[in-house]
Amino acid sequence: MIKTINLKKIYKNEEIEVHALKGINLEIKNGEMVSILGPSGSGKSTLLNCLSGIDKPTEGKVIINDIDITTLKDDDLTNFRAKNMGFIFQFFNLIPVLNAVENVELPLLILGYDEKKARELAEEMLIEVGLKDRMKSFPNMLSGGEAQRVSIARALVTKPKIIWADEPTGALDTKTGMSVMNLIRELNEKNNQTFVIVTHDPRITEYTQRILRMDSGFLTEYENLG
């Protein structure tokens, strides 16, 4: 499903040139749950941004379902991401003036869904992540774990093939973080969607099927967990 060929990313300014990715080659299969593990500054978030089309690599290819997304025009890339990808962020990125169900239905409305259908699907997704009684709650009324569950529901409501997660438990305490990872694993197994999770926390990798280890812009090791 996901393949990179000699992926490089260089950030430049007048004084310095930073080689964030130094020739990354990887393959991720459909339905896999993969973690990208590495210390701060190792290049893991840059890799995620290039894989998802948020950032363009300096060199190399990102191929998703036989489409080289690095060659797509901006509008085509935006449409491809909207139809094929979901995103889970460390700090939830919920819209504060919208309640939980309104946050979750937003991607569907952007895709042109009928308002009634969008609301129905958003409610179903919130029930699936265990928030049946919190649909009308605004982000400031939710605990960290609840807010991240809303974020997960929003990422999955369009039924994307790939979900990118950047430090999804980074803003949560240990117990809540593990609960969120249990939910992510359950959804991965149930829906056969591909999850790619960036983390610096080795405990998170215990929930994934494979670990990609990064250091100083290099992919240093693959580890299959079962």
Q: Are 101 and 133 in contact (CB under 8 A)?
A: no
Q: Are 144 and 179 in contact (CB under 8 A)?
A: no
In 3D, which of 49, 44, 61, 93 has the Cα closest to residue 211?
44
Which of 41-45, 51-55, 169-173, 213-217 has the weakest average pLDDT? 169-173
pLDDT at 87 over 90: yes
Q: Are 132 and 126 in contact (CB under 8 A)?
A: yes
How far are the Cα atoms of 13, 59, 194, 207 from residue 152, in angstroms, in the given order? 36, 32, 14, 16
Tokens for 19?
Answer: 């080689």
pLDDT digits (tens, 9 = 90+) for 6-54: 999 999 988 889 999 999 999 999 999 999 999 888 999 999 999 999 9
> Can you give the pLDDT at residue 168?
87
> Can you give the pLDDT at residue 226?
53
> Can you give the pLDDT at residue 225?
63
Tokens for 201?
Answer: 């926390």
How far are the Cα atoms of 4, 170, 195 from residue 69, in angstroms, in the given order? 10, 29, 18
Structural domains in the chain, sorted by start: 2-224 (3.40.50.300)
What is 128-144 written as a DSSP string? Answer: HTT-GGGTT--GGGS-H
